[in-house]
Amino acid sequence: MTFFDSPLRLGVLASGRGSNFAAILDAIEADGLPATVVIVVSDRPDALALERARLHGIATAVVVPRDYPDRQAFDVAVVERLQTAGVQLVVLAGFMRLVTPAFLAAFPGQVLNIHPALLPSFPGLHAQRQAIEYGVRISGCTVHVVDEGVDTGPILLQRAVEVHDGDDEESLAARILVEEHKAYPEAIRRIATGEIRIPGLAPTPRQEHVA
Ligand code: GRF
C-alpha cells in the first residue's frame, strides 16, 4: 500500500561505504519499497556511496566543507541540492557531520538517521565501543528523526542484537550492521505506507480523504 501519490522521494547523505544506502536500494528494487532515491550527496568525493549511486543511475553531488566559510553555509549548499532534486525525506546513512538548525528548518521533521546502538544509550561516536566498555549484554540499532541534539530525536524503530563474550568493536559493529540493513528500509517502508506519520510529511489530500 502506498500512502503518497507516488513513491517517496529520498535524498541520501553519506560520507563512506554506503551499505545502508545499498540496503535501501535493494529494498526498493527487489522488495517493492514504495520510494525512490533521487540524489546521493556526499561531503567526501571518494565515498563508495557515490560509486554505488552512479552504478544505479542515481544523481550524485559532492559538497566539500572546505569550500564554505562555515557549517551553515555548507548546509545551505547541501539543502539546495536536495530541494532542487525534489527530496521529501532526507536519509542520513553514515553521514559524518551534524546538521545545523538551518538544515532542519528546510526539512522540518523530514530527516532520518540510523545509529548503531539502542538510543538513548551510547549516542555519538564509537557507539559499539561504548556498549562493549559499559558491559551491556544487548545492543542494536535505532532509526530516529533528527533534531538539534546528537542522536536525540524521536525514535521510530529499533532492532536488538546480543553482545557476545569476546566481542570487540568490529565484531559487534558487524552484527549490528546486519540489523541496520533491515531496520532502515523497514522504517522508510512504514513512513511510505503511512504506518508511521512524521510531522513534515503529509499524505496527498485525496488519500487522506479516503482514509
Ligand atoms: C552505520 O553503522 C550507521 O549506523 C552509522 O554509520 C555507519 C554507516 O555505514 N551512522 P554505511 O556507510 O551505511 O555502510
Provide DSSP, 67-96.
GSSSHHHHHHHHHHHHHHTT-SEEEESS--
Strands 111-115, 138-145: pairing kind: antiparallel
CB 75 within 8 A of CB 116: no
How is residue 164 annotated by DSSP? P
What is the tens place of the pLDDT at every residue in 127-172? 999 999 999 999 999 999 999 999 999 999 999 999 999 999 999 9
At residue 198, the pLDDT reads: 86
| Mean pLDDT value of segment 48-64 | 98
At residue 38, the pLDDT reads: 98
Ligand 1 atom showing the smallest separation from residue 176 Cα: 2
At residue 86, the pLDDT reads: 98
Does residue 52 sit in helix, strand or coil? helix
- Distance from residue 173's CA to the centre of ligand 1 (Å): 9
| Mean pLDDT value of segment 39-44 | 98
Give the chain's domains with CATH numbers.
7-108 (3.40.50.170), 113-197 (3.40.50.170)
Residue 42 near ligand 1, beta carbon < 6 Å: no
Instruction: Kindly report the average pLDDT of the chain as a whole number.
Output: 95
At residue 3, the pLDDT reads: 75
Identity of residue 98: L
| Mean pLDDT value of segment 170-175 | 98
State if pTM tops 0.85: yes
Residue 123 near ligand 1, beta carbon < 6 Å: no
- Distance from residue 67's CA to the centre of ligand 1 (Å): 25
The percent of residues above 70 in pLDDT, for the chain, comes to 95
126 is catalytic: no
Identity of residue 29: E
Ligand 1 atom showing the smallest separation from residue 173 Cα: 2
Strands 155-162, 138-145: pairing kind: antiparallel
Nearest C-alpha neighbor of 47 from the set 63, 34, 35, 31: 63
Q: Please give the residue that has the higher pLDDT: either 5 or 205.
A: 5
